Structure 1
């Protein structure tokens, strides 16, 4: 049974959900999500002999939302994971992340391999730092219309998404799912600054089978205080590039697993297909070739829980 509590970590209070006993597995959600995005994983992983913990990361759900944009850098986020592992009485853990949670998981393994028994990323592949600030690259490539650039306009996306939180989330989850027409066709998430993003998204009459009204209720409640904390992660993209300069050219060395859907728009971002193809050569401890899930969109562990659980359990039990 999943239990909930608050825990002090790295100067903030985080809400965590936990179940099971055994080696610690930390599950890190993405945007716009919460601990609940892992609800299909708790039971199977706990039954397989693991202690499963999923926090609402800083800026999300019931966890603290620091006011300063700079408080959401990748170093803060990795610090939260390391602090959480130690606050739970462990020296090491398996770290698994999806969407934004994946870069946090990968960077935890990159910066603190001593505390990571194994790392898995869903949707977003391991980080290989580019030679230029990412926002400038995307601004030039897409004339300022890429969603990262839109999210970096102070208060703009915050206001748009908060007008009707439930509708915002319903549109987001359908738009990036494998159920949406044209999903995975290489269409980039571009936004007309004068129109906003939601106006171009389909509002589905019926939710996909894997995303229930109860799931939407849970998610809507977690964003009852708005989207600013979550959007502040994007407002640190260039700062993260600056902060990680000492690790330029470094690779993730703990045992690793990468899983993605073939209808997910993220693996189709510029340069990402080539990176995924090269991962077996770039990652010294990638335990198997990248796992591609047919017909799966962005919400990997929710759209394909059976396949994701099987891949995670195989990976974790091999290393436990």
Structure 2
């Protein structure tokens, strides 16, 4: 993507809690924060680059590489669960930038971080768009681990091969042809950077540590989320199947549920127009 919304033109960095946090910024107006998902080699740009011009047309838009991902530093250690840790880092970045309020959009892991952010910093979170959010799924019909998570585990068990990553990534989409070789190559290259494997081990362990488990089950706290929210789910999501939305949605005070047919785990890509419209309409109603 060239011009004012290109990678280099929008790249920024700030030090938060001793880590260099990489992000992209474009546009003016109310602030929108876009938070990427997890998985090997993921980055904010990889998840949301195409959406940036749409959001930046009416909003000051930040795409943040969460700590340990993309071009942000990998922490040697962090306390507690990753949802809480990343939410704190995002809050620290917003404080540095003088941002008092923001709309938060999160995909998968980013959805979990956005939900935790709203719980921990309710005065800063104006509204939430949660897309297949991690930690929010209380499955009614689908056994765990889900097929998407099984494919992720196989990547690590395979010795982190490109072929296993390709299987995992193509499973993110209802239409796997949308996952290009270029996308796979970029994710695989990033997944092999120094310290990535050790960070990912710490990242995964933070969700299964006995002291953290209840806090990472964000559906337990759904009734405490008071911000206007749009819950967006692909009907064919194999990572976090959409039936997991039902309990959390039923508990939220001010939420709408959008289940998109012919869509996997990356609604921002597969249902580009619908996703953008849902988010922007949500934001417009808060003015």
Query: Do they superpose with TM above 0.5?
Result: yes
C-alpha distance 273-308 of structure 1, shift in aligned 2 (>3 A): closer
Partner of 1:172: 168
- How far did 1:283 drift? 1.0
User: Is 2:258 the partner of 1:258?
Assistant: no
Q: Give yes or no for the alignment of 1:238 onto 2:247.
A: no
Q: Does 1:310 align with 2:277?
A: yes
Deviations 1:116-137 (A, max 9, x none): 011111012774899xxxxxxx
Matched, 1:220 2:164: no
Q: Is 1:23 matched with 2:3?
A: no
Unaligned runs of 5+ in 2: none
SS of equivalent to 1:295: coil
Alpha-carbon RMSD across the aligned residues, in angstroms, is 3.2
Q: Distance in 1 between matches of 2:270 and 2:136?
A: 24
8 A Cα contact 1:10 1:79, kept in partner: no
2:262 is equivalent to residue 295 of structure 1: yes
Q: Name 1:229's counterpart in structure 2.
A: 199
- Partner of 2:226, secondary structure, is coil
Which protein has the larger Cα radius of gyration, Structure 1 or Structure 2? 1
* Aligned residues of 1:254 and 1:285 also touching (Cα < 8 A): yes
Displacement of 1:306 in angstroms is 1.2
Give the total of aligned pairs.
268
Structure 2 CA distance for partners of 1:50 and 1:59, relative to 1, 3 Å: same
Q: How does 1:137-286 map to 2 (within 5 A)?
A: 147=149, 158=156, 160=158, 162=160, 164=161, 166-179=162-175, 208=177, 210-225=178-193, 226-239=196-209, 240-243=212-215, 249=221, 250-268=223-241, 272=244, 274-275=246-247, 279=249, 281-286=250-255
Q: If the length of structure 2 is used for normalisation, what is the TM-score?
A: 0.80
CA distance in 2, matches of 1:255, 1:221: 38
How far apart, in 1, do the equivalents of 2:245 and 2:62 lie? 31
Which ranges in structure 1 are unaligned for 5 or more consecutive residues? 131-137, 181-207
Cα shift readout 1:197-236 (whole Å, capped 9, x = no counterpart): xxxxxxxxxxx1x333443344334334144424533211
After TM superposition, the score normalised by the length of structure 1 is 0.73
Q: Is the 8 A contact 1:20 1:46 kept in 2?
A: yes
CA shift for structure 1 position 299: 1.5
Displacement after TM superposition at 1:158 (Å): 4.7
C-alpha distance in structure 2 between counterparts of 1:68 and 1:57, whole Å: 14
Is the 1:260–1:291 Cα contact (8 Å) retained in structure 2? Answer: yes
Partners in 2 of 1:253 and 1:12 — Cα distance? 31
d(CA) in 2 for partners of 1:221 and 1:14? Answer: 20
Compute the displacement of 1:243 (Å).
Answer: 4.9
